[in-house]
Amino acid sequence: MRAALEVLARQRGPVPALQLAGGAHPELRPAAVLQPDRSQRLNLEAPDWDGQQTFPEVHVLATPSREETREYLALARRAGGRVFLCAENRLGADGWRKQLKPIDSFSQNHCRLMELARDTLPDQGDPLALRPPYLEADFVSCPGLFSWDRFDPGSQLLLDFLPAQLPGDGADLGCGPGLLARQLLKRGCRHLDLVDVDQRAVRAAWANCAHDERCRPLWLDLVKEKPPGGYDWLTLNPPFHGSGQEDRALGLALLARAAGALRRSGTLWMVANEHLPYQEALGPLNLQLIEVRQQRGYKLFQCRKNA
């Protein structure tokens, strides 16, 4: 993201534009933005796009998901103005160039900035719209969310590892589209916070939990912001990808946030890919390991917050 913003700033910096899926850069002053990721949104000063106003240019930043990027391009088509897509090479810039046949194309900083003709852009799509990912699906989601069209195998292992009853107040930290959360609700909790950095994930989780009155949707960047805390238990399937690249610090930051949010003697239930360094991090965070299980490339942890 940083590299693509750098190119956009150098090439299109002074133009007041609508920025879709982007982030902050000191030389970019977007006139309006659409960015459901709170970690990016908090750094952007521009107002949210109202869906009506038009601008001389629309700048789309390619995301790690091609399907999601297509939805942003469809929105750009409807927003009017000249449309530019900036894609990092590692996110398939060349594939976009071949597919969209830009009017103009410029390569710099391992990124490609392309001006696109309106009639080459997809005419259907909305990155904020939630929908069942396939005909028979009994849940809503959208491209770009974690495991957006199926229940993740790691989440399934975590679910199987959990006790039959989870009484008291809990939260799924980083709830994604809420397919784990809706199963948690069946285990007798009094309250469940649905927390995610992506606003669409929070909305999807809330819908997939059938707006159950025990749930509270919370749009938070857990790296920078604290959840309410005092939880009896938490589930955590820590993210380890930021902008499509492995980012261990992100998972460790969420683990620290979970440790801080549990009440004394509260329980953390966690699943992670087995190569990730979470076990060593538990002690310094005042979390006592009760059980660890290794299964199909994952590690499952039950930890108690020390008194």
Ligand X SMILES: C[S@@+](CC[C@H](N)C(=O)[O-])C[C@H]1O[C@@H](n2cnc3c(N)ncnc32)[C@H](O)[C@@H]1O
172 binds ligand X (CB under 6 A): yes
> Which residue of 36, 125, 127, 176 would you call a contact of ligand X, by CB under 6 A?
176
Find the part of the chain contacting ligand X (CB under 6 A) among 170-178, 206-214, 260-268, 285-293: 170-178
Q: Which is nearer to ligand X, 4 or 201 (CB)?
A: 201
144 binds ligand X (CB under 6 A): no
Q: How many angstroms separate the CA atoms of 243 and 88, rounded?
A: 11
> φ, ψ for residue 76 (rounded to 5)?
-60, -40
Q: Which is nearer to ligand X, 11 or 295 (CB)?
A: 295
Show the DSSP H helices in 22-161 as ranges. Answer: 38-41, 66-79, 93-100, 153-161
247 binds ligand X (CB under 6 A): no
The angle subtended at Cα 156 by Cα 151 and Cα 157, nearest 5°, is 150
Closest to 48 in 3D by CA, of 60, 36, 62: 36
Residue 7 CB burial class (10 angstroms; 0-12, 13-18, ≥19): buried
Shortest distance in whole angstroms from residue 300 CB to ligand X: 12
Bridge partners of 61?
86
> φ, ψ for residue 154 (rounded to 5)?
-65, -40
197 binds ligand X (CB under 6 A): yes
| Residue pair 10/62 in contact by the 8 Å Cβ criterion | no
Shortest distance in whole angstroms from residue 177 CB to ligand X: 8
Find the part of the chain contacting ligand X (CB under 6 A) among 76-84, 90-98, 130-138, 172-180: 172-180
Shortest distance in whole angstroms from residue 294 CB to ligand X: 18
Cα–Cα separations (whole angstroms), residue 145 to 178, 264, 277: 10, 32, 24
Q: Which is nearer to ligand X, 113 or 194 (CB)?
A: 194
63 binds ligand X (CB under 6 A): no
Shortest distance in whole angstroms from residue 228 CB to ligand X: 14
Q: How many residues bind ligand X (CB under 6 A)?
A: 21
DSSP H/E element including 299? strand 298-305
Binding site for ligand X (CB under 6 A): 39, 146, 152, 155, 172, 174-176, 179-180, 196-198, 201, 220-223, 237, 239, 250
